[in-house]
Amino acid sequence: MKKGLFISFEGGEACGKTTQIQMFQDYVDKHDNKNNFIFVKEPGGTILGEKIRNLLMFDETDPPVAKAELFLYCASRVHLVEKVIIPALNAGKTVIADRFFDSTIAYQGIARNIFSPEEIINLTHMLIGDLKPDLTFYLKISPELAFKRKNSDIPLDRIEKEGLEFHKKVAYGFDTIAELEKDRFFIIDATKSIEEIHKLIINTINNKLKNK
């Protein structure tokens, strides 16, 4: 039976999600309860997951076709859930995930239109059961502004290289999920200052832990 707290971070490219997770991890590392937190990312988080991540994001020798892309994400997720997330939650730990199945719905379901969002949700249930985050931070930013934020000195992964229209569909996907999952989604204006967002995240997570 799940005893821990599961928190995910979602958003389009260059929304500041990964920066905020790193800042929260640095904050946690300064406290005595740091061992109560587990940080994972998708795809990745395990040795197998990191290999899948490299195939999905950076290997251009034989890029996966759309359906293969979807199932590679799912394979990484199943492995991460069974090897890391479920054991951590059962041990009463707080799991912080850099993306989870909401990204698959937004990117592969709505933007790529591989399967419908409903079909991807059904597939997710078959693979990981009813597991879903207790709280999801959605760092919301317009794709136009996100494109301006991209650092030209950092190589882009395969998803980041997709055009503006693709990322507009991704943004629409996250907006749609957030509207349907109001009890779980916490929308953050990603144009706020980094420190302002960081404090908001700390306060929200601490309140969630107190009321668990």
What's the rounded Cα separation, in Å, for the pair 120 and 46?
A: 23
Per-residue pLDDT reduced to its tens digit, 109-164: 999 999 999 999 999 999 999 999 999 999 999 999 988 877 666 777 888 888 89
pLDDT score recorded for residue 153 = 65
Report the chain's C-alpha Rg in angstroms: 17
* Angle, CA of 136, 121 and 145, to the nearest 5°: 50
Give the burial string for 72-109 (b: 16+ CB within 10 Å, else e): bbbebbebbbebbbbebbeeebbbbbbbbbbbbbbbbb
Q: Please give the helix or strand (H or E) that residue 189 lies within, else none.
A: strand 185-189
SS3 of residue 88 by DSSP: helix
First to last CA, the chain: 15
SS3 of residue 187 by DSSP: strand
pLDDT value at 76 more than 80: yes
Query: Which token pair is 197?
Result: 């967002």
Residue 73: pLDDT band by 50, 70, 90 thresholds? very high
pLDDT score recorded for residue 152 = 60
pLDDT score recorded for residue 151 = 62
Residue 2: pLDDT band by 50, 70, 90 thresholds? low
Per-residue pLDDT reduced to its tens digit, 163-210: 899 999 999 999 999 999 999 999 999 999 999 999 999 999 999 999
pLDDT score recorded for residue 161 = 86
Domains detected in the chain: 5-210 (3.40.50.300)
Contact 120, 31 (CB under 8 A): no
Mode of pairing for the β-strands spanning 94-98 and 37-41: parallel
Q: Which residue has the tokens 């960081």?
A: 198
* Angle, CA of 44, 78 and 201, to the nearest 5°: 60
CB atoms within 10 A of CB 178: 18
Per-residue pLDDT reduced to its tens digit, 181-190: 999 999 999 9
